Structure 1
Amino acid sequence: MKLTRVMTAPTMSMVVLTVVAAAAANAVPNIVSATSTAPPSVALESATPPATAIGGCRIAKNPNDSFLAESGAVPADPLLFELGQAEWIVANEFIVQFGREATASLELSRVGVDGRTGIDMLDETCARHGVSNIRKLFTSTVAGNDAAQLANAALPDLDGFCVITVDLTQTTLEAAMADFGADMLVTKVETIGIHPFYAPPNDGNYASQWHLSQTSDIDIDAPEAWDTQNGDPSKIVAVLDSGVRYYHKDLGGSGTSSTNPSGAAGNMWINSAEKSGVAGVDDDSNGFVDDWIGYDFVSAPIATCWSGEDCTTADNDPRDFNGHGTHCAGIIGAMNNNGYAVASPAGGFGSGTNTTTGDGVRVMALRIGHSAVSGASEAGYVRMDYAASAMQYAANNGARIASCSWGSSNSGGLAAACDYFIAAGGLIFKAAGNSNNSTADYMCGRADIYSVAATDQTDKKASFSSYGTWVDISAPGVSIYSTYHDHNADASDYVAALSGTSMATPLVAGIAGNLWSQFPTWTAAQVWDRIRTTSESIAAVNTSYPGQLGAGRANLKRALDGTTGGGGGAPLAGKVLLSVLGTPTLGAAGAVADEDIAQYDGATSTWSVYFDGSDVGLTSFAIDALAVLPSGELLISLDIDGSLAGLVGSPSGTTVDDSDIIKFTPTSLGANTAGTWSFYFDGSDVGLTTNNEDVDAITILPSGAIGISTLGDPTVTGLASLADEDIMAFTPTALGSVTAGNWAQYFDGSDVGLSTNNNEDLDAVDVAATGVMSLSTIGAFSVTGVTGVDEDCFRFTPTTTGATTAGTFTSYFVAASRGIPTSANINAVHIVP
């Protein structure tokens, strides 16, 4: 084993609220109380600005924001500004992405500490602004231990991203960015954001870990899940944080300690090529020298460095000082059943005593922030460029899950790095924040990054947790026991109980690691969909936050078993076509009007426009019912009667009634929809003549008959006592302007618990070739095993159909977990297998 620098134990002062010190390798630690004026969960995730005396960089107001509009007052130090949710930026450094021409030249020239590039035009710009240093933000795209797997991935190009350091006595940040941004060799410029860190085992503190198991069963059911899977060493979870105490015996195994950090193994990720390689050599050619246990990306102080903290020089020692990262790491992968400290969802399952090597998922330690002075307190902060570099490192070296418990902004190259990690097949989990408001930061606002809110021991939203329709899932985050580092006493291992969405996030990441261990061939989308769809509903105890806590509380056992029905719905293998009332904004599809059809892709969890009704004359209508024929033609019923330009075959010219069905034959679909309209089904010919008998849902049944549910209780030839929660089967003998055929009852909603009150009237129906029905109601519903609201879709698997209907219900498509707001309502549905 080798290191490029001596790793010494730091000494400093900090108090913790509740810690557990471990005196011996296999001892059960005793709880020790310490006086604290600021619990770690507060100090580490506060929104207090860092101090203004900066070492390697300074903190400034973001030039794109108005400070006065935010706060109404100028702080004492004009270089220190708080923006919104504790957003600050580095004042003397920013990101430049050079174009391909410049990047190729830069590779051959002297880019480095003297701030020269060898390109005359750029060097003139550098000289004007006193550029003292230019460093590459990312390594080569395909470098690293996972190069073979990444070779076939469609990865975004990260070449050309550099960090520019300027002299603030010669220029301003705004002037330098504007000058570089105007250069023809530069593609983009970005600021660099600074944000705060947001069989039962015999582990000594397992009994205190309510989030794993408690008598009320408001937990993740970890012990039940461990009988099936407890984590596999082939799965790597990256912890991008304040570093990790990798020599904590519950993380690094019995062979390590503060005096022997190089003995770390356990459940820590070890880069074996570097550990057994030649000192001072990049043995695995991943762009990092001697990175045997992760990497420390902190190369300059973010703010005034807390006494004893390591705030300079990026290196191969990602040890923790702050404690936040160690706590997150233990929540994911502390070694289980080793007689020591705590347990975790993916920590493996030992023999009962602490061992050198663990059998759980591997925790990759990536240090992107440090402890800084915040008034008289200690607080942890991260830089977005450090986070970006770490994200690429994680992807290149085999991590497929990233746990991110800190604030974020679209700066420092972070967006490109997240794109890279996701394109490499990864899942990113992000803390929702501890501001108790509905404001999403940059990463939480992305549909392809999964935001985690925090709940308490009763399933209620934690008092501090942020919330919103952008939240994807919730998890326990109050008084969570995990491993900890106390820089007052480096010689001892500790356990601390902290609270925050910072704790909920690694818990979901650990669940993902366990689940991926059980299903190693699954894609990231499949893993996420299983976690979301098997979550447990917490809506009943969070009525003040409808649709704002994600799919529900994550549950490890249910995820392993594939148990659905309480939270996010069943896994989606295909695509869901929806017409939705309320003009909601649905991801990349944008604002979707009620004459449009949106498509949700279950494989990618993304929205798109499938059919733009305004392109083909439906602006004054809403789509009330929808089905897609095998030919790709669309059957549609409208909400009102009226004239539809271009309609052919109607018995009344271009007029269509809301009891009729029309057919659209597309020549193109999507944002530019085109095609022709023809008349398909005349409801008045076959008994649909009253307002109650307006068509409310249509589908093609397995027999080929047309399934129809009406707005009210219908009366048609051959059937009696039907209701609007029923489905009729129409077998045609003629279609078009003269419609004829026979009616039969296909589904009796009252037989299976759908009430005759208006809330549970069916207003959207799809019946698959297998007979499985996807249903949505006009209001909130409650049937055996499933509850939901009008924007949800649930499934019925029949054992019998017709006048005597029987079968079982499961959850399928929970709107809140897919970004549909509570103000919307599913008006029509069709499932594309």
Structure 2
Amino acid sequence: MTITASICGESITRLVLRDAGHSVMQMRSRERAVLFATLLLSVLLVSNVAITAIHSSAPKTRYVNAIIMFKPGVDVDVAGIDIIHEYRNLNGIAARIPVFLYNMLEHAWFVSSIQLDHEMSILQDTLDWGVDDVDAEQVWGGAEDAVDVVQGNVDGSGVKVAILDTGIDYTHPDLDDVYAGGYDFVDDDSDPKDGNGHGTHCAGIVAAEDNGEGVIGVAPHASIYAVRVLNNWGSGSTSDIIAGIDWAIDNGMDVISMSLGGGDYDQAFDDAIDRAYDAGIVVVAASGNDGKGTISYPAAYDNAIAVGAIDSDHNLADFSNYGPEQEVVAPGVDIYSTMPTYTVTLNYWFMGGYSQNYDRMSGTSMATPMVAGVVALILSANPDLTPPEVRDILHTTSVDLGSAGWDQYFGYGEVNAKAAVDEAGGGTPPDTTPPAKVTGLTTETLSHTEIKLTWDANTEEDLDHYNVYRDG
């Protein structure tokens, strides 16, 4: 038996199985196009309030590195595939293949197993560029590029963050210890398990654990709550989202993070956010991914903090909305965070082909939990702050971008965790010990331009340097 996978150019033209005991199977490009159009139409028909994570309407072919093991007795001819390894003692290969071929091979009768080629390294957390850019690690790690929480530093402890989204993979090794509960308003039960992937990605940005593996979030010791208000396709009803806000109020949340948007002004939705704000909850929401000068609801409501996205060059992301309600911005391009450890909607090629466990995503959806995490650090430093006070701290400590002062593109600028926590009163207290007196001071004139000073050595253990001033 011979299995031949033929590749032409950048995309698969057919997958042909040649065997005397099995019929020939082919999937032509036109058939795949019809399949994709049908699936895409089914997604659009269920949309009501859609999540704002950016997805292309005509996704480009994505490739992944995969390890493919074949069943005993299968003779493999892999002409045209980008082979990384052909194993001699195992009946299998490692190869770079299109995501849609990966999904087909998961169900192929001749494949015993297929898995992504995961990266392994020394055991330490990965510091995403966005978490680094807002200086979160300087708060809990005490230094630039730190990847470990220093005991006693502000780290999000004691703060409850409700993530209103598609749910959370609460079994993920980077989330299981910070996950504290939640509710599923889509299925009306107490199991808010993520079937999409978007909510898990947002959760990791907020509070992925300091556990020596994977990634680390903005506030790695905050408590996260999964409030599932969007279904597995990433859409949901306004009524479910309002119910989620209602739940957050009843359960004493400190922060609400909403990476979702759509629809027009809704009085009940606006009222729900007002109630949360009055109850002491800081509400953070995504500005939207349409690349236009209109902020999406719910971010446009008065008592929600509207968050835009920037790239690593501190430019407004080309997809980020902007407008008069824009309050702050945060990193939102190629953000590396947690993904469910099991198969979900976003793993399929027609939904982007994202990896399990960890992957990069872009959108104001990613910028929003960055800000929610910074808010968690602020409240961890000073739990007595009110939502208006937290908002004011964000305004005054953000790094100004674009035109001087507030502008409709960057708002007050990029949030900065270190400056915000210091302003909240939770930074390293300044050294108020007065300098020791200099004793035994003698002078010796060496020339008309030189003088020699001598004094007794100081015995302070933390002495760093001496300052010598000339008076007159």
TM-score scaled to structure 1, two decimals?
0.34
CA distance 1:530–1:363, change in 2 (3 Å): same
Code of the residue aligned with 2:136 in structure 1: it is A
In structure 2, the residue matched to 1:478 is: 333
The CA deviation string for residues 727-768 of structure 1, in whole angstroms up to 9 with x for no partner, is xxxxxxxxxxxxxxxxxxxxxxxxxxxxxxxxxxxxxxxxxx
Is residue 382–residue 406 contact of structure 1 (8 Å, CA) maintained in 2? no
Superposed counterparts of 1:510-659, under 5 Å: 510-539=373-402, 546-562=407-423
Structure 2 SS opposite 1:558? helix
> Are positions 1:231 and 2:92 aligned together?
no
Kindly indicate whether residue 343 of structure 2 is the aligned counterpart of residue 488 of structure 1: yes
Q: CA deviation at 1:447?
A: 2.1
Measure how far apart 1:399 and its partner are: 0.6
Residues 549 and 203 of structure 1: CA distance in aligned 2, closer, same or farther (over 3 Å): farther
- With over 3 angstroms needed to count, the CA separation of the structure-2 counterparts of 1:424 and 1:412, relative to structure 1, is same
Checking the alignment, whether the CA contact within 8 Å between 2:287 and 2:300 is kept in structure 1 is no
Q: Kindly provide the CA deviation profile for residues 63-86 of structure 1, in whole angstroms up to 9, marking residues without a partner as x.
A: xxxxxxxxxxxxxxxxxxxxxxxx
Q: d(CA) in 2 for partners of 1:549 and 1:362?
A: 29
User: Which structure 2 residues correspond to residues 262-301 of structure 1 after superposition, within 5 A?
Assistant: 266-269=177-180, 293-298=181-186
Tell me which residue corresponds to 2:196.
322
Q: Which amino acid aligns with 2:185?
A: F
Structure 1: gaps (5+ residues):
1-47, 60-87, 89-192, 214-218, 253-265, 270-292, 299-312, 348-359, 373-379, 564-833
8 Å CA contact retained: 2:172, 2:341:
no
Q: Pick closer, same or farther for the CA change 1:52–1:345 going to 2, 3 Å.
A: closer
| Match in the other structure for 1:724 | none
Q: In the alignment, which residue of structure 2 is the partner of 1:370?
A: 231
Q: Where does 1:393-542 land on structure 2 (aligned, <5 Å)?
A: 393-409=247-263, 410-411=265-266, 413-485=268-340, 487-488=342-343, 494-539=357-402
Q: Which amino acid aligns with 1:225?
A: V
**Structure 1 contact 438–466 (Cα < 8 Å) conserved:** yes
Contact (CA 8 Å) 1:197, 1:381: kept in 2 or not?
A: no
Coordinate RMSD, CA, aligned: 2.8
Contact map agreement 1:321 1:486 (CA 8 A) in 2: no
Q: Distance in 2 between matches of 1:489 and 1:417?
A: 30
Q: Cα 1:296–1:50, aligned 2, differ >3 Å: closer, same or farther?
A: farther
Give the partner amino acid of 1:445.
A
> Which residue of the partner structure matches residue 334 of structure 1?
208
Task: Tell me if structure 2 keeps the 8 A contact 1:432–1:465.
Answer: yes
Per-residue CA deviation, residues 472-514 of structure 1 (Å, 9 max, x unaligned), is 0000001111111164389x96111111100000000000001
Q: Structure 1 residues 528 and 488, CA, compared in 2 at 3 Å: closer, same or farther?
A: same
Q: Distance in 2 between matches of 1:211 and 1:414?
A: 30
CA deviation map 1:348-394 (0-9, x unaligned) = xxxxxxxxxxxx1100100001123xxxxxxx112111100010101
- Relative contact order, CA 8 A, sep 6+: which one is greater? 2
Letter in 1 for 2:170: Y
Match for residue 210 of structure 1? 129
Note if contact 1:230-1:345 (Cα within 8 Å) is conserved in structure 2: no
Deviation string 1:510-568 (CA, Å, 9 cap, x unpaired) is 0000110000111111112112210001116x99x9542210000100111229xxxxx
Cα distance change, pair 365–476 in 1 and its aligned pair in 2 (3 A): same
The Cα offsets for residues 553-607 of structure 1, whole Å up to 9 and x where unpaired, read as 00100111229xxxxxxxxxxxxxxxxxxxxxxxxxxxxxxxxxxxxxxxxxxxx
Bigger share in helix: 2
Aligned counterparts of 2:189 and 2:223: Cα–Cα separation in 1: 21
Matched, 1:195 2:67: no
In structure 2, how many angstroms separate the alpha carbons of the residues matched to 1:53 and 1:473? 31
Shift of 1:205: 5.1
Query: Which residues of 2 match residues 135-154 of structure 1 at below 5 A?
Result: none
Which SS does the other structure have where 1:505 is aligned?
helix
Shift of 1:53: 9.1
* 1:85-120 Cα distance to aligned partner (Å, 9 max, x none): xxx6xxxxxxxxxxxxxxxxxxxxxxxxxxxxxxxx
Secondary structure of the 2:179 match is: coil
Closer, same or farther in 2 for the Cα pair 1:412/1:231, shift >3 Å?
same
Tell whether the 8 Å contact from 1:241 to 1:382 is kept in structure 2 after alignment: no
Shift of 1:423: 1.5
Q: Distance in 2 between matches of 1:560 and 1:421?
A: 23
CA contact (8 A) 1:248 1:493 kept: no
Q: Please say if 1:248 is aligned against 2:177.
A: no
Between the aligned residues of both structures, percent identity stands at 33
Matched letter for residue 388 of structure 1: I
The 5-angstrom pairing of residues 703-782 of structure 1 reads: none
Q: Secondary structure at the match of 2:215?
A: coil
Question: Are residues 52 and 477 of structure 1, via their aligned partners in 2, closer, same or farther at CA, if it must alter by over 3 Å?
Answer: closer
Equivalent-residue separation in structure 2 for 1:401 and 1:413 (angstroms) = 20
Cα distance between partner residues in 2 of 1:532 and 1:53: 38
* Letter aligned with residue 243 of structure 2: S
Kindly provide the amino acid, as one letter, of the partner of residue 497 in structure 1. Answer: R
In structure 2, what is the Cα distance between the partners aligned to 1:494 and 1:562? 36
In structure 2, C-alpha distance between the alignment counterparts of 1:296 and 1:268, rounded to whole Å: 14
Q: Which residue of 2 aligns with 1:385?
A: 239
In 1: Cα distance, 2:242 partner to 2:280 partner: 17
Task: Provide the secondary structure at the position in 2 that maps to 1:335.
Answer: coil
Say whether the 8 Å CA contact 2:166–2:228 is kept in structure 1: yes
Contact 2:273 2:303 (8 Å CA) reproduced: no
Structure 2 unmatched runs, 5+: 1-37, 54-121, 143-151, 346-354, 425-472
Letter in 1 for 2:279: A
Corresponding residue for 2:149? none
Q: How does 1:342-361 map to 2 (within 5 A)?
A: 342-347=215-220, 360-361=221-222
Separation in 1, partners of 2:334, 2:297: 27
Q: Is the 8 A contact 2:136 2:219 kept in 1?
A: no
In 2, Cα distance between equivalents of 1:50 and 1:412: 31
Closer, same or farther: CA 411–547 of 1 in aligned 2, 3 Å: closer
Paired letter, 2:172: H
